[in-house]
Structure 1
């Protein structure tokens, strides 16, 4: 294990704890998905929906290729 592995494991654990807390307390606006919807104005902006769709799709394709081919 390297130090970077520990950093990623720690970040992932903190995120999981924060998201679990947000889901359990049922307070509006504190989950990742709620904040992403707000950031991109998903409910009120077609441009926001399009921007999120393009960004998410682009990231997904890049990440898939990156993991499968070990490039980029």
Structure 2
């Protein structure tokens, strides 16, 4: 619906897709201890489509890597 904001957070694992959440209830690790990466985009649904609010293409490269 227009006005909704969504967080899309894919997790890519080099090994198994099996994960577990640590005791802090926040950290997720792969069961086989393989490398993993998590990305996030915040998307706003508008009347005419959507807008990616977290689009980093407008941020200078030096700032995007920090």
Q: Assess same fold via TM > 0.5.
A: no
What TM-score comes out, normalization by structure 2 length?
Answer: 0.22
Higher strand share: 2
Q: Greater RCO between the two (CA within 8 Å, min separation 6)?
A: 2
What TM-score comes out, normalization by structure 1 length?
Answer: 0.21
Higher helix share: 1
